[in-house]
Amino acid sequence: MLLDQLRVFLRICELGSLAAAGRALGLAPATVSERLSALEAHYGANLIQRTTRALSLTEEGRILAEAAPRLLAEAEEIETRLRHGAQEVSGPIRLSAPLDLGRNRVARILEAFQEAHPRVVIDLHLSDAYVDLAAQGFDLAVRYGDLADSALRVRRLAPSARIVCAAPSYLARRGRPERPEDLARHDCLGMRFGALTDSIWPFVIEGKQRQVVVHPRLQANDGGLVRAWCVAGRGLARKAWWDVADDLAAGRLVPLLRAYETPAIGLQLVYPKDRGRIRRVALLIEALAVGFKA
């Protein structure tokens, strides 16, 4: 029963309300409230501060939210070994990945992984927004760039350059930019992250990194849509190499301004230390590492 209460608590933390957690779990609101109250009684502390407008974690709730995924994972691992034997790989894995990369690359690796381990249940969450692994109950995430949270473990997958590219149809119509400053007379496509737009594109010009401001005529918070617009000839885009590798190989997109490209950033897996000790998660980490080398 305690494990069920912990699952309810984590889903409340993830979704921000008891009602939303109940809908996600298929539980009545009264049941969700009862399980939360029972969990608070078990630990002898208020875990969630309730107001008429919002919920917030108490200090005790924050501590439990960080520890609960590990407790659940260890319980699931024990149950798996007892029920199916030590060699059986089964159970859930929650993974977060950027939209475009998740659709085009990660999904293929997951499909092959599940064929090899059919008892593993994979929940892939695609989003270009930052995901808090501990608070939202994720086992691991694929991310671009350097790690900011030192509490997480890192497995480097591959370097990933950011490439300005365009469709042949666009270049035939508007010409090819030869220098970064030529972007001022081209239609650019922008990626939006919340209130921020990726409208400052860095380049290495005469040995120094410089910022070039572009003015996107189309922008979206979905990297896959930006790529689709680019392939359709709607403008230039600056995309991660892994997002457009297939398009470049097929000739649907043409790389531009390579001589001015900034150094590649890292593509990496990040995960809480305790999750890496779970066999199914460790196996998926290895599968992703191998998949990005192929």
Phi/psi for 220 (5° steps) reads: -155, 160
Q: Which of 84, 102, 117 is the last residue of a domain?
A: 84
Q: What integer pLDDT is reported at residue 79 of this predicted model? A: 67
Query: Can you give the CATH number for the domain in which 19 is found?
Result: 1.10.10.10
Q: Mark whether 166 and 258 lie in a shared domain.
A: yes
Q: Mark whether 274 and 221 lie in a shared domain.
A: no
Phi/psi for 262 (5° steps) reads: -80, 160
Does the pLDDT at position 1 exceed 80?
A: no
Q: What integer pLDDT is reported at residue 147 of this predicted model? A: 64
Domain that holds residue 4: 1-84
Rounded mean pLDDT, 246-250: 95
Q: Mark whether 148 and 294 lie in a shared domain.
A: yes
Does the pLDDT at position 145 exceed 60?
A: yes
Q: Which of 25, 56, 84 is the last residue of a domain?
A: 84
Q: What integer pLDDT is reported at residue 83 of this predicted model? A: 60
Q: Mark whether 140 and 48 lie in a shared domain.
A: no
Q: Mark whether 63 and 203 lie in a shared domain.
A: no
Task: Give the chain's end-to-end CA distance (angstroms, integer).
Answer: 44
Q: Mark whether 143 and 173 lie in a shared domain.
A: no
Q: Mark whether 41 and 168 lie in a shared domain.
A: no
Q: Mark whether 152 and 191 lie in a shared domain.
A: no
Which ranges constitute the DSSP H helices of the chain? Answer: 2-15, 18-25, 29-43, 59-84, 99-101, 107-116, 133-136, 168-174, 223-231, 241-250, 279-293
> Helix (H) and strand (E) counts for the chain?
11, 15
Per-range mean pLDDT, top range of 36-45, 169-178, 278-287: 169-178
- 288 vs 148, more confident: 288
For residues 19 and 29, is the Cβ–Cβ distance under 8 A? Answer: yes
Q: Which of 65, 84, 103 is the last residue of a domain?
A: 84
Length of the chain: 294
Rounded mean pLDDT, 198-213: 92
Q: Mark whether 148 and 268 lie in a shared domain.
A: yes
Q: Mark whether 292 and 153 lie in a shared domain.
A: yes
Domain count of the fold of the chain: 3
Please give the mean pLDDT across all residues of the chain. 87
- The predicted-structure confidence for 90-119, as pLDDT tens digits, reads as follows 889 999 999 889 988 999 999 999 999 998
- The predicted-structure confidence for 62-81, as pLDDT tens digits, reads as follows 888 888 877 777 777 666 66
Query: Can you give the CATH number for the domain in which 231 is found?
Result: 3.40.190.10
Q: Mark whether 196 and 126 lie in a shared domain.
A: no
Q: Mark whether 170 and 257 lie in a shared domain.
A: yes
Q: Assign 288 to helix, strand or coil.
A: helix
